[in-house]
């Protein structure tokens, strides 16, 4: 399996622009997670989906952030408009949530810099 | 109060020594506990998970869980320079996932 795939790997944009991050989870996994990691705040869960349905989006910082999962093999995280404080590494992770297996597998991350 | 607390370190140990990493959590409903390793510039990767009180061993790694005291630890025996990384503790209460900020470990040759 190719693992979790994220694109782009690096993104540099200017304040006010729209940014779209993409994720393809591991085939067969039923849960997908979006995280943001910064030096100051560590790894923060933004939102997670189970069977393509958003379960908890309490970590989404504000209305500028939105996430979708139109099918089991694709998800997007959008920031509109972007701000310099959104600069971080954004990770997508997938898992097969059952009572016995909850391991998350992380993608390589998207390094976002908002100027 | 943070859901998961870790000492940020840095923790330095000589090669061949035992490295001990600790983590405390606040939600007594937590059932699953994970240790991830993250090399600089890379994504977190799972080292071990533990569900039951006591010790769980996997090669040079041992995870220890004490639910009464709400702490989980990771011991790395015979530490190697390649173990130098940040170690993240994660807990899973009620299908939420919370990560600690990580402990930076340096193994000195």
Residue in A closest to B42 by C-alpha: A108
Q: Are A67 and A34 in contact (CB under 8 A)?
A: yes
Instruction: Give the burial string for B28-46 (b: 16+ CB within 10 Å, else e).
Output: eebebbbbbbbeeeebbee
| A82 has pLDDT over 80 | yes
pLDDT of residue B95 exceeding 70, the answer is no
Q: How far is A109 from chain B (nearest CA, A)?
A: 7
Q: Does an H or E element contain A33, and which? A: strand A31-38
CB B104 within 8 A of CB B8: yes
Across A45-49, A72-76, B46-50, which has the greatest mean pLDDT? A72-76
pLDDT in tens, B38-85: 999 999 999 999 988 999 999 999 999 999 999 999 999 999 999 999
Across the interface, do B96 and A50 touch by the CB < 8 Å criterion?
A: no
Chain B residue at shortest CA distance from A96 = B95
- Asked if B44 contacts B57 with a C-beta cutoff of 8 angstroms, the reply is no
């Amino acid at each position: 399996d190719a693992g979790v795939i994220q694109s782009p790997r690096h993104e540099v944009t200017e304040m006010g622009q729209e940014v779209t991050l993409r994720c393809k989870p591991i085939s067969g996994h039923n849960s997908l997670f979006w995280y943001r990691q910064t030096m100051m705040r560590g790894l923060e869960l933004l939102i997670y989906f189970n069977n393509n349905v958003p379960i908890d989006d309490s970590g989404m910082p504000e209305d500028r952030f939105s996430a979708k999962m139109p099918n089991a093999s694709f998800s997007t995280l959008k920031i509109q408009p972007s701000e310099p404080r959104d600069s971080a590494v954004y990770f997508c992770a997938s898992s097969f949530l059952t009572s016995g297996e909850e391991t998350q597998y992380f993608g390589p991350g998207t390094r976002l810099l908002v100027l | 109060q943070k859901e998961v607390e870790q000492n940020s370190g840095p923790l330095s140990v000589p090669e061949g020594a035992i490295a001990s990493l600790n983590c405390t959590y606040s939600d007594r409903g937590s059932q699953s506990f994970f240790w991830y390793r993250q090399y600089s510039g890379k994504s977190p990767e799972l080292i071990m998970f533990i569900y039951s009180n006591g010790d769980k061993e996997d090669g040079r790694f041992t995870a220890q869980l004490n639910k009464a005291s709400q702490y989980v630890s990771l011991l790395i025996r015979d530490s190697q320079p390649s173990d130098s990384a940040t170690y993240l503790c994660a807990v899973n209460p009620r299908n939420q996932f919370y990560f600690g900020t990580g402990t930076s470990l340096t193994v000195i040759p």
